[in-house]
Amino acid sequence: MTGLDEEGAVEAVARVGEQIVLEFPKDLYIPPDALAVILEAFEGPLDLLLYLIRKQNIDILDIPIAEVTRQYMRYIDLMQDMQLELAAEYLVMAAWLAEIKSRMLLPRPAPESAGDEGDPRLTLVRRLQEYEQLRQAAERLDALPLVARDVFPASVQLPPIERKPEPPHVSMDELLDALRAALQRAALIEHHHVQREAISVRERMSLILLRVAEGTVLLLDLLVPEEGRRGVVVSFLAMLELLKAGQIEVERDMDGLFTVSVRGACDA
């Protein structure tokens, strides 16, 4: 199968590298869906028309409708010969071009009386201009960096920040004074002391954390004299361990009393 252009010269049907092919080999088999990419190259009939116009360097405001219609119909015929299914909008455009071509053949009023509105191509020109503006805008947007295509979010995790516990706001001497006061109170009621099951420092740490989790507690309320000297010492050692770990804070209020709270609760 060969083609002739308007001057009668043989028209190339394909190009392989630098070699021009003038006709298809007779034993060449082309699968029906092998040329689907031809249709996918155009996003619709307006895109195809714009391609034909720009390829021929045609002024979009003065379209030679007969020539453009002929080239458009050649494309449609080629697609049908290749047994490629055409979208209905391509056929609708073909019918519209044929209508415009027919109206161009009819006598029209003088340009002075009809103006531009008398040109059958005017609606087509406007649609082509609008489509070209939209396509150019889409190309500009596509040129911008796109997440997951050009730009990828960083997935590097920051190393954990190790916070060193701050020293307590109360000096050790002041804490020891509070311990002495608690031991003195425990000694006053020693004869009322009832032997209880021994409790470890770790268990007392858990009990203190449960108490201060509910709110600020007076230090003297945690050093219970009724538990005897052993109980007071165990509670005091548990508080020292919690202070060292940075889990609680000990401060002195306006009345001079020591208070115990969860670390950071006072700042909130």
The tens place of each residue's pLDDT in the chain, 268 residues long, gives 444 454 555 566 566 666 776 776 666 555 555 444 454 567 788 888 888 888 888 888 888 888 888 888 888 888 777 666 677 888 888 899 888 888 888 776 665 555 556 788 888 899 999 989 998 998 898 888 887 777 777 777 777 777 666 655 677 777 777 777 777 776 666 555 455 556 788 888 888 899 888 888 888 888 877 777 788 888 888 888 888 888 888 888 887 788 888 876 555 4
CB contact at 8 A, 118 and 108: yes
Token code pair at residue 261: 């709270």
Q: Is 72 helix (H, G, I), strand (E, B) or coil?
A: helix
Contacting residues for 153 by C-beta, under 8 A, at least 6 apart? 147
pLDDT at 130: 92
Q: Is 250 helix (H, G, I), strand (E, B) or coil?
A: strand
pLDDT at 115: 53
- Residues 101 and 110: their CA atoms lie apart, in Å, by 19
Residues of the chain with CATH 1.10.10: 172-262
The candidate with the shortest Cα–Cα distance to 42, out of 89, 97, 101, is 89
CATH class of 172-262: mainly alpha
- Residues 97 and 73: their CA atoms lie apart, in Å, by 9
- Residues 167 and 263: their CA atoms lie apart, in Å, by 11
Query: CA 97 from chain center: how many Å?
Result: 43
